[in-house]
Amino acid sequence: MVSTLLTIVSIMRVHGNNVEGAVRKAVREAGGLDGIIGEDSTVLVKPNLVSPMESGSGKITDAKVTEAVVRIVKELGAGRVVIGEGAAVGYDFPGIRDTSEAFRVSGTERVARECGVELVDMNKDKPVEVELPDAYVMKRFRVARTALEADVIISVPVLKTHNRTAITCGLKNMKGVLPGLEKRMSHRCGLDRAIVDLNSVVGPDFTVVDATSCMEGTWEAHKDRVDLGLVVAGIDTVAVDTVCSRIIGLDPAMVFHLQLAEEKGLGTTDMSQIEVRGSRIEDVSRRFKPFSEVFKSRFGMVNLVEKNTCTGCMGEIYSTFIYLREAGYENELGGLTVIMGTPEDVKDVKGVPLVVGKCANPKRELGVFVPGCPPHGIAITEKACQVLGVDWKKVHNTIEELHASPSG
């Protein structure tokens, strides 16, 4: 007989296109939201809309999953329901490049309109300062007011590998409630520890993972998409992330923020304490390729000198490599050295290095510097063309074509 003290994590397959059916089953099997949401509750539903991408791309939470969660929450009579997100570093420039684009492109804006709930850009939300005396690294930081004041937070991440934290799921998804400055700080002060500090203050009360379309490797649109066709849910986000790690063939013992979260008492990674309902892990698991494996296989010819580079610069430089490759300059990439983050030693420099981002500022004299935190991929690409001596106009035209395509 199964002990009632076990924490439940449900894994449900999506049959046909019935995403809402799978979400409803997953939530119900994991204990339901009835005991969590009261009539006057303010509920924050937090999808992962890291950047403007369409639903089904695997890079962001599918709007269908968000919609199903919102409908369940509304049926339970919540007083106020908010869909909130603050897109990644680089998408926090109001009116120029911000979360509103991610809301629109993903279909989340439509969901909010049709369900009659609020949509909040957490990057623009009024930040409130919080103190966490026993923090690992973030003893004092600011959080979007809507997240701090919510009675109930439901994390609705998409399941992906990550270049810094191995996996991004329910716990890491909460990073979207940090203002831009804190997002940057969290990368510099140690992302795994910062994730646990953040979740100690605004941890989810329930997590519903969009594992319908996921991403492995480098998140290169569609190339790295993995269709698992699953929804995973539970009240203990650490346990949910642990089960998701196992689904993608990643040992939770190797995921530092999961170990730290358990140490802090935020949940369990111990499978003997987790009851999995629905599908069995072994029946749905599929190894996801880690970022480093895919990055090396596609762009191992570039001499990348980096340390502690966050996803901001890593994502932008990856775009640069794609632009140059698509413009027909893949061979030229072999002559490129890129310095990013805070490397101590810079060795094996080929030609004039490209020094990318504010963190690498102390090394700016070594080559051509691209300022910014992060610099825009297009600005990096223009400077890359300069150091490689290739035709910037041709690359620029390629960028325009890529961005004009449906998946651009």
Which residues bind to ligand SF4, rule: CB under 6 A?
89, 184, 187-188, 309-310, 312-313, 341, 357-359, 373-374
Cβ distance to ligand SF4 smaller for residue 248 or 354: 354
Q: Closest separation between CB of residue 315 and ligand SF4, Å?
A: 9
Question: Token pair of 84, please?
Answer: 């909130």
Q: Closest separation between CB of residue 339 and ligand SF4, Å?
A: 11
Cβ distance to ligand SF4 smaller for residue 204 or 341: 341
Give the separation between CA 321 and CA 128, rounded to whole angstroms: 38
Q: Closest separation between CB of residue 178 and ligand SF4, Å?
A: 13
Which amino acid appears at position 312 of this protein? G
Question: Token pair of 367, please?
Answer: 């080559």
Question: Token pair of 166, please?
Answer: 């191995």
Give the separation between CA 261 and CA 266, rounded to whole angstroms: 5
Provide the pairing of β-strand 225-234 with 206-215. Answer: antiparallel
Q: Closest separation between CB of residue 103 and ligand SF4, Å?
A: 22
Q: Closest separation between CB of residue 207 and ligand SF4, Å?
A: 26
E-assigned strand segments in 237-364: 274-278, 303-307, 337-341, 354-356
* Helix (H), strand (E) at residue 120: strand 118-121
- Number of residues assigned to the chain: 408
CA-closest candidate to residue 340, choices 308, 293, 366, 382: 308
Cβ distance to ligand SF4 smaller for residue 358 or 376: 358
Cβ distance to ligand SF4 smaller for residue 90 or 290: 90
Cβ distance to ligand SF4 smaller for residue 235 or 339: 339
Q: Closest separation between CB of residue 182 and ligand SF4, Å?
A: 12
Q: What are phi and psi of 160, to 5 degrees?
A: -145, 160
Give the separation between CA 168 and CA 257, rounded to whole angstroms: 10
Q: Closest separation between CB of residue 205 and ligand SF4, Å?
A: 30
- Tokens 């629905």 belong to 278
Cβ distance to ligand SF4 smaller for residue 108 or 123: 123
Cβ distance to ligand SF4 smaller for residue 170 or 341: 341
